[in-house]
Structure 1
Amino acid sequence: MLDFAIFAVTFVIILVGAVLYLYPSSRRASGIPGLNPTDEKDGNLQDIVNKGSLHEFLVSLHQQFGSVASFWFGGRPVVSLGSVHQLRQHINPNHTTDSFETMLKSLLGYQSGTGGGATETIIRKKVYESGINNTLKNNFPLVLKLSEELVGKWKAFPDSQHTPLCAHLLGLAMKTVTQLALGESFRDDAKVLSFCKNHDAIWSEIGKGYLDGSLEKSSSRRGHYEKALSEMESVLLSVAKERKGQRKQTAFVDTLLQSGLTERQIMEDCMVFTLAGCIITANLCVWALHFLSTSEEVQDKLYQELEEVLGSDPVSLDKIPQLRYCQQVLNETVRTAKLTPIAARLQGVEGKVDQHVIPKETLVIYALGVVLQDSDTWSAPYRFDPDRFEEESARKSFCLLGFSGNQTCPELRFAYTVATVLLSTLVRQLKLHQLKGQVMEVRSELVSTPKDETWITVSRKG
């Protein structure tokens, strides 16, 4: 029996950890090339830890064994797919759930509503997505206002001043997500800072402490994490009670309150949206501005599109679909940064990829970080080149991977909207410049994050 730390790692690695308790382990030999377990109990867990992240482990695994490879987690065989060709063949065993949401709820110990069947799952997913869409429509002027405030602050900086992207853009994401999700009471900066403190404590342990088992080895860290989680849950429950029955229906929580969900389910969905929405939005914006700072040509091309589509007007929700090059910039940001490097599904029925049979109830990992920089799919895969998305083949591959189209997770769609507003405001007023000598290192966890603070300088146009 694996101890708690190993179970926790299981949740992170497979993104559907809670499901695994419901199915017997498949012991059938798959015949897929890959690693033998290095430990009878833990499988290849130590190999993953030694590589530093699951993504780095998968990069090494596919380099050694090809685009279809296997390894062991505990006593369970795991199959990883590392190319668009193989992913296209794979039968998705569950179209009704979002892997990122399932992963977060498993890590947080949230199980309410997971056993209600496919119909309940679909209904709850629609409520969640419509809640995010509605709050963007109802609060778009606020999204624009917050971006304009940040750009105004940057305009006041001297041209030589170093601007810390991670700190500023996490602040923008936190203000945007909390106010849109939980309402106008989060216009209070002190309230946002308190929320941010607990958010960071929870996310840091989800991103690392569960992966290497270190959280369970430190009672003080465990206590700090549980205190932050409890405080954040209390805040979310309090907000839901305060907004229940009020006439003004503008926030994400308001949609949930009108949906018939239980108080517990509302709290859980608010937790998932605030956790995932903040971290994905912040890192999409950080990487987008970093890559723009490395290319004056891309900045100029984006500026021209903004001038042609918007003129002197601010961006509006109905104009965003017309900003095609801006969409290409964000797509290329997600691809180059490997924004979400891993997804996974449990094989619902026996499947086949190439000549390999994948038995029912086998865990299948989508090594997205590997696929996003596969030279067979992307020319010059390590180069930031938004023009590649002018080709239909690139757009189709991106859609297949779940980064565009109907399968895009709602938090990423939300992040695209916020990032588009920021870019449309920023690029028309300022030029971004890369800080010479800065080396960018990546932490490839659940969301790819710069290892250290990322700096740029800005200068006013004209």
Structure 2
Amino acid sequence: MLDFAIFAVTFVIILIGAVLYLYPSSRRASGIPGLNPTEEKDGNLQDIVSKGSLHEFLVGLHDEFGSVASFWFGGRPVVSLGAVDQLQQHINPNRTTDSFETMLKSLLRYQPGSGAEVMRKKVYEGAINKTLENHFPILLQLVEEIVDKWASYPKSQHTPLGSHLLGLAMKAVTQLAMGSRFQDDAEVICFRKNHEAIWSEIGKGYLDGSLEKSSSRKAHYESALAEMESVLKSVAKQKGQGSDQSSFVNCLLQANLTERQVMEDGMVFTLAGCVITANLCIWAVHFLSVSEEVQERLYHELVEVLGEEPVTLEKIPQLRYCQQVLNETVRTSKLTPVAARLQEVEGRVDQHVIPKETLVIYALGVVLQDADTWTLPYKFNPDRFADESVMKSFSLLGFSGNQACPELRFAYTVATVLLSTLVRRLRLHKVEGQVVEARYELVSTPKDDTWITVSNRK
């Protein structure tokens, strides 16, 4: 999915666990400054848990040891890179494998990829692009429905972004991925229940081993996974009936993938696509609600480019300030704070040698707010992305350009449709006294549901 900075960020814990499972342990000392193991069996696991998240642990690690630092996960040394220059040096020559897909599928007990995976990845990316082209009117309709709902609220009513925008993301992903059966709210509700059961265990349960220790939790997880797999297989067997011929699943089928492969790729897209899309939308609307000047500039661009017409795929590239807003949303929220890659051959960063089979963490959350790279890094300022050098750094991290993963591109498209409709019709207002803090688990999510109020522009 990504060539260099693999957008495996939402599954970094999966990567760690699966790497430990799939590859023999490398016990060679790297000589890189960092922490010694707190416990022989768990390494620095307890230090990560006590910090609250891997991202928060990495912030402290790089503060203490610099831009190249090491720690231990179990009996395995891990190297973390926390600056753009060091990330740029870390070039993995094996460009045929994909950490994100390989590790997630390993966790889900799917067979690891073979040499044909390069072509399969292209099919996957092409299926997402084709699905967006063919079903763009569905996105417009779903967004219109939620904006109509918000427009009906009195100005004093608080609107919960989390529940509403997660619902939007779920409907968008399921209808575009699996077709018209998910126009039925009951199907979406069932999908959401299973999605949450799987997603909630993918990080915590596998990181601390608690899933294996709880037979009831494990049974609940496996039941939800089996049910989602069954739905995906059922969709695949329909062989593209009627309007569903151009859904994501059927685009894969038309590329001659097996039903099993289609199910696996559908699982990856639906799991990752929902969470990334929902949280990008949540953070973007929140930042606009507390940044009146940014909101008004975006409004004027939307009116200038679109007038009163709905946004189209062809018009999206012209919405340059909207793109800057979304880029700055990703950066400021640290939407996906960590990525990872296996060191498949011995490498070097600065004067440090990174041994083969070392897990290398990209501490993107640290890099995204590094004062040496970003002026006033904690300020929400979309104007910074008018600078070509800033965009180059952002692209290097895997958030834009050809290196951006298909799930993130999908999320940007949904968020652009949402903002282009929402901001032209409604003014977004912050709720006074509300403090919004991030929770860094699989993605950056507000700790509590975030609220706004709205008022009609006309």
Instruction: Specify the TM-score bucket, using the shorter chain as the normaliser.
Output: over 0.9
Equivalents in 1 of 2:303, 2:41: separation in Å? 60
CA contact (8 A) 1:40 1:74 kept: yes
CA distance in 2, matches of 1:349, 1:208: 30
Asked if residue 348 in structure 1 is aligned to residue 344 in structure 2, the reply is yes
Is there any run of 5+ residues in structure 1 with no aligned partner, and where?
1-10
- Once the two structures are TM-superposed, the CA of residue 405 in structure 1 deviates from its matched residue by 1.1
Which deviations, in whole Å up to 9, do the C-alpha atoms of 1:190-235 show, x marking residues without a partner?
Answer: 1111111111111111132223332223222211111111111111
Shift of 1:22: 4.6
What is the aligned partner in structure 2 of residue 243 from structure 1?
239
- Structure 2 CA distance, aligned partners of 1:408 and 1:95? 15
Deviation at 1:121, TM superposition (A): 1.2
Indicate the larger mover: 343-352 or 156-165: 343-352
Shift of 1:28: 2.0
Among 364, 369, 392, the residue aligned to 1:368 = 364
Residue 6 of structure 1: aligned partner: none
2:248 is the alignment partner of 1:278: no
Conserved? CA contact 1:16–1:102, under 8 Å:
no
Distance 1:140 1:91 in 2: 36
Aligned-partner residue type, residue 282 of structure 1: A
Task: Identify if the C-alpha distance between structure 1 residues 300 and 115 changes in structure 2 by more than 3 Å, giving closer, same or farther.
Answer: closer
Q: 1:429 aligns with which of 416, 420, 425?
A: 425
| 1:24-423 → structure 2 map (5 Å cutoff) | 24-111=24-111, 114-117=112-115, 120-244=116-240, 249-423=245-419
Shift of 1:246: 6.2
TM-score by length of 1: 0.94
Residue pair 2:19, 2:359 contacting (<8 A) in 1 also: no
Task: Tell me if the contact between 1:93 and 1:345 (Cα under 8 Å) persists in the aligned partners.
Answer: no
| Mapped partners of 1:284, 1:110: distance in 2 | 28
Q: Taking structure 1 as reference, are residues 299 and 115 closer, same or farther at Cα in structure 2, changes over 3 Å only? A: closer
1:305–1:323: 8 Å Cα contact kept in structure 2?
A: yes
Amino acid at match of 1:209: G
Greater Cα offset, 33-42 or 97-106: 97-106
Q: Give the TM-score taking structure 2 as reference length.
A: 0.95
Change in 2 beyond 3 A, CA 1:186/1:240: same
In 1: Cα distance, 2:363 partner to 2:14 partner:
11
Q: CA deviation at 1:12?
A: 4.4
Say if 2:443 is the partner of 1:453.
no
- 1:157/1:12 Cα in 2 relative to 1: closer, same or farther (>3 Å)? same
Q: Residues of 1 paired with 2:208 and 2:450: CA distance?
A: 26
Q: How far does the alpha carbon of each residue in 1:17-75 deviate from its partner, in whole angstroms, 9 at most, with x for none?
A: 44554543222221110001111121111111111111111111101101100011122
CA 1:309 to 1:184, structure 2 compared with 1: closer, same or farther past 3 Å?
A: same
Q: Distance in 2 between matches of 1:298 and 1:274?
A: 32
State how far apart, in whole Å, the 1-side matches of 2:411 and 2:292 are. 24
Aligned length: 448
**Structure 2 unaligned regions, length at least 5:** 1-10
The 3-state SS of whatever aligns with 1:433 is strand
Q: Which residue pairs with 1:7 in the alignment?
A: none
- Aligned twin of 1:4: none
Measure the CA separation in 2 of the matches of 1:13 and 1:196.
22
More deviation, 216-225/419-428: 216-225
Structure 2: how far apart are the matches of 1:211 and 1:190?
32
2:201·2:221 contact (CA, 8 Å) conserved in 1?
yes
Two-structure CA RMSD over aligned residues (Å): 1.6
* SS of corresponding position for 1:345: strand
Contact 1:281–1:412 (Cα < 8 Å) also in 2: yes
Hey, what does 2:4 align to over in structure 1?
none
Shift, 1:245, TM fit:
6.8
Name which of structure 1's ranges 319-328 and 41-50 shifts more when overlaid on structure 2: 41-50
Could you tell me how far 1:13 is from its partner in structure 2? 3.0
Q: Secondary structure at the match of 2:38?
A: coil
In structure 2, the CA distance between the partners of 1:370 and 1:247, relative to structure 1 (3 Å rule), is: closer
Residue number in structure 2 paired with 1:13: 13
Distance in 1, Cα, partners of 2:113 & 2:201: 27
Distance 1:160 1:457 in 2: 7
**Contact 2:12/2:338 (CA < 8 Å) preserved in 1?**
no
Q: In 1, Cα distance between the equivalents of 2:148 and 2:455?
A: 12
- Helix, strand or coil for the counterpart of 1:428? helix
Amino acid at match of 2:278: A
Alpha-carbon distance in structure 2 between the residues aligned to 1:447 and 1:108: 19
Structure 1 contact 82–371 (Cα < 8 Å) conserved? yes
Q: CA deviation at 1:76?
A: 1.2
Distance 1:311 1:107 in 2: 47
Following the alignment from structure 2 to structure 1, what is the Cα–Cα distance between the partners of residues 242 and 346? 50
Distance in 2 between residues matched to 1:366 and 1:108, nearest whole Å: 23
AA matched with 1:73? F
Distance in 2 separating the partners of 1:29 and 1:413: 39
Letter of the 1:306 counterpart? L
Equivalent-residue separation in structure 2 for 1:66 and 1:101 (angstroms): 30
* CA spacing shift, 1:193–1:14, aligned 2, 3 Å: closer
Distance in 2 separating the partners of 1:187 and 1:403: 31
Task: Choose 202-211 or 350-359, whichever is displaced more.
Answer: 202-211
Distance 2:212 2:21 in 1: 21
Q: Which amino acid aligns with 1:121?
A: E
- Aligned residues of 1:100 and 1:343 also touching (Cα < 8 A): no
User: Are the aligned partners of 1:253 and 1:266 in contact in 2 as well (CA < 8 Å)?
Assistant: yes
Query: By how many angstroms is 1:170 displaced?
Result: 0.6
